[in-house]
Structure 1
Amino acid sequence: MRQLIARRLLQTIPLLFFVSIVCFALIKMAPGDPVLSFVTPNMHAEDIERIRHNLGLDKPAYVQYFLWLKELVQGNLGYSLVNHQPVLDQILDRLPATAGLMGSAIALAVLLAIPLGLVAGANRSRWPDKLINFISYIGISVPLFWLAILLIYLFAIELHWLPIMGMRTIGVNSALDVLKHGILPCAVLAFSFLSVYVRYIRSSTIGQLKEDYVQIQYAFGSSKRLVLFRHVLKHVLLPIITLLGISMAELVTGAIVTETVFSWPGIGSLGMTAVRGMDYPLIMGITLFSAVLLIVGNLLADILYGFADPRINKAR
């Protein structure tokens, strides 16, 4: 296991280098000029060029990249072009709000997807399977922003049960208030994740029910429920581990639309603000941060694979 972790960590170095090149290249090819955010109507051309020089934007692109990479290796993601605050500090300030929202949504989706996927796979082509599949197709097809607006109209405007936007009510500082604000965005994200997870678990369940060990358990007199939740479930968890590893990156970027609709003060809404303001250092910082989380998530998935199925460690 230690060799696996060391090998994976070594593999991340060229991968992160490649991601940094792609990220920088995409930003340089993006339309717009970040200097324009500093320009005023009465500003002279000399002043504009002075700003461009101070930002280092008058240097060749490869020089700008290596200067940025040098600061990046030292843990400095640069400063925002809009508010002049350190990029890393802004990301870390918003991270708890996004991680709490996304973590709750993913946990809720997994807890619901496991029994629903098992039931759908065990009742293939019957009415429980058709009903669960129908709900899953809705979750996959419906745009998140439309579902968010629909829930806001129903539960906030019509029924007045839940707040519309934000993370806290002004003047109220309690965990219950944060919980009430998080119900709607968490429900939207959980429904999206649930639809995907159910499809994976259903497909894996159908495949496992054809295996010989299942028929042996039935021959010994085990009930269908016991076979599903004691034996099949162990093997069904493997694709879920992969999905959870991939979802690590979505702790940063997965809630962009939802956070924007609900005005949730997380990294997603911070990223939208950076895009609208052409704040390139902040955009690159968020992109790299999400790439690091994706790599860490895949590493954790590999480690969990070994605990879930010891045969994988022996094969390695």
Structure 2
Amino acid sequence: MLTYLLRRLAILVVSIVIAAMILFLFLRLLPGDPANALVSVGADPEQIEAARRQVGSNLPLSQQFLQFISGLLRFDFGNSFVSQAPVLPEIARRLSVTVPLTVLSFLIAIAIALPLGIVAAAKSNRWYGSAISIVSQLGIAVPVFWIGILLVTVFAVNLRIFPSGGFPARGWMRPDAALEALALPVATISIVMAASLIRYVRSAAQDVLGSDYLRTARALGATYPEALIRHGIRNGSVPVISIMGIELASTLLGAVVVERVFSLPGLGSMLLLGIEQRDYPVVQGVLFISTLLVLIVGFLADIAQRLIDPRLRSRIGGSDA
């Protein structure tokens, strides 16, 4: 297992380097010069050249890449072209909104999807099992922004229970206000994520309930709950963990829509603002941090699968031998 862990860590590092290279080349292939963000319309050639020297776009591409990689290694993403403020502290401030939004939504979605998915599989011949499957399909089909608008209309405009958007200026210094501001955004993401997860939990549970090893355990005297807990959950959780990792990563990247609907100062809003203002350091920093988080989530999901499933661990031991 240790050998496999080290190998996966090496793959993670290589993936981060490749992602950084792709990010650098992608941004440099976009039309226009990043120096244009520093000069006004009608600027003379001397002003444009001075701006290019300031942002480093006058240097050869190889030298720009070395500076880019050097900054990443030091977690120095430079200063914003617009505000002249360091990018990393602003990313950290925005992450204090995006990460709790994503994690809370993920945990609530799991708490909803696991029991409902199992019920939908075990009681597929009952009306409520079919109803769960139908509702989950509807939840996947409905756009996330529409659910957000619906929740705002009901709980913020009509009932006035939660705020319609925004985030407290003091942030998590006032946890009650912060949680209240995140209530509707978290509910929006949780509904969509739970609807998607229910399908996969239902499929995995159906495979477990129809498996030979579960029937064998019952034949050896184990009760249905005992057989399900000791044998079914571990085997059924392996594909679900993989899907959970994908859902968590996609939610982290897709939070921009929900942040837009609820006017949250998160990472997605920062990315959109950076794109609109052609603020390259901001765009580079946000995309790299987002990619890094997604790769780490995938790494942790893969390790969790190996820890839960003894068959995967035995394959690792066999390959390492």
TM-score w.r.t. length of structure 1: 0.90
Shift of residue 259, structure 1, vs aligned partner:
0.9
1:124–1:194 distance in 2 versus 1, CA, 3 Å:
same
Q: Is the 8 A contact 1:95 1:252 kept in 2?
A: no
Counterpart of 1:186 in structure 2: which amino acid?
A: V
Partner deviation per Cα, 1:178-224 (whole Å, 9 max, x = no partner): 22211100001111111121111111111112211222344457665
* Cα separation, partners in 2 of 1:7 and 1:102, compared to 1, 3 Å: same
> Could you say if the C-alpha distance between residues 51 and 57 of structure 1 is closer, same or farther in structure 2, counting changes exceeding 3 Å?
same
User: Is 1:177 the equivalent of 2:187?
Assistant: no
Of stretches 266-275 and 172-181 in structure 1, the one that deviates more from structure 2 is 172-181
Q: Contact (CA 8 Å) 1:253, 1:267: kept in 2 or not?
A: no
User: What is the alpha-carbon distance in structure 2 between the residues aligned to residue 117 and residue 229 of structure 1?
Assistant: 15
**CA, structure 1 residues 249+80, in 2 after alignment: closer, same or farther (shift >3 Å)?**
farther
Q: Does 1:71 align with 2:71?
A: yes
What count of residue pairs does the alignment treat as equivalent?
316
Opposite residue 277 of structure 1, the aligned amino acid is Q
Tell me how far apart the structure 2 counterparts of residues 279 and 41 of structure 1 sit (CA, whole Å).
Answer: 16
> C-alpha distance in 1, partners of 2:163/2:246?
31
Give deviations 1:3-38, integer Å, cap 9, x for gaps: 222111111232222111211222123344433322
Match for residue 286 of structure 1?
Answer: 286
Give the match's secondary structure for 1:54: helix
How far apart, CA to CA, are the structure 1 residues paired with 2:172 and 2:244?
A: 34
Q: Would you say the 8 A contact 2:204–2:237 is kept in 1?
A: no
CA distance in 2, matches of 1:119, 1:248: 23
Matched, 1:155 2:143: no
Matches of 2:90 and 2:209 in 1, distance apart? 49
Q: 1:80 to 1:247 in 2, by over 3 A?
A: farther
Instruction: Rate the CA distance shift 1:248–1:120 in 2: closer, same or farther, 3 A.
Output: closer
CA root-mean-square deviation: 2.5
Q: Which amino acid aligns with 1:114?
A: L
- Please say if 1:38 is aligned against 2:38: yes
State the SS of the aligned residue for 2:117.
helix
Distance 1:8 1:256 in 2: 30
CA separation of 1:304/1:271 partners in 2, compared to 1, >3 Å: closer, same or farther?
A: same
Decide which moves more: 4-13 or 178-187: 4-13
For the residues of structure 2 that align with 1:94 and 1:61, how far apart are their CA atoms?
30
What is the match of residue 238 of structure 2?
238
Deviation at 1:42, TM superposition (A): 6.0
Question: Which amino acid letter does the alignment assign opposite residue 90 of structure 1?
Answer: E
> Aligned letter for 2:257?
V
Deviation at 1:108, TM superposition (A): 0.5
Query: For 1:59, what is the secondary structure of its paired residue?
Result: coil
Residue matched to 1:191 = 191
CA contact (8 A) 2:80 2:86 kept: yes
Report the residue type matching 2:8 in the other structure: R
Alignment of structure 1 residues 269-280 onto 2, 5 Å:
269-280=269-280
CA contact (8 A) 1:105 1:186 kept: yes
Residue 256 of structure 1, CA deviation: 0.8
Confirm or deny: 8 A CA contact 1:260 1:272 kept in the other structure.
no
Show the counterpart of 1:203.
203
Question: What is the rounded CA distance, in whole Å, between the counterparts of 1:77 and 1:230 in structure 2?
Answer: 49
Equivalent position of 2:319 in the other structure: none
| Partner Cα distance (1:268, 1:110) in 2 | 23
Return the offset for 1:251: 6.5
Shift of residue 62, structure 1, vs aligned partner: 3.4
| Offset, 1:126 | 4.0
Contact 1:140–1:192 (Cα < 8 Å) also in 2: yes
Aligned partner of 1:275: which letter? I
Normalised TM-score (structure 2): 0.89
Query: Is 1:6–2:6 an aligned residue pair?
Result: yes
Range with bigger deviation, 129-138 or 211-220: 211-220
The residue number in structure 2 matching 1:60 is 60
Amino acid paired to 1:59:
L
Distance across 1 between alignment mates of 2:78 and 2:124: 54
Q: Aligned residue for 2:18?
A: 18
CA distance in 1, matches of 2:186, 2:167: 12
Secondary structure in structure 2 of the residue aligned to 1:96: helix
Inter-partner Cα distance in structure 2 for 1:303 and 1:172: 32
Between the aligned partners of 2:174 and 2:60, the Cα distance in structure 1 is 51
Q: How far apart are 1:103 and its partner, in Å? A: 0.6
Over 3 Å counting, the alpha-carbon distance change for 1:248 and 1:116 in structure 2 is: closer
The residue type equivalent to 2:109 in the other structure is A
Deviates more, 1:84-93 or 1:182-191: 84-93
Q: Are the equivalent residues in 1 in contact too, given 2:148–2:258 (CA < 8 A)? A: yes
- Tell me the equivalent position of 1:137: 137
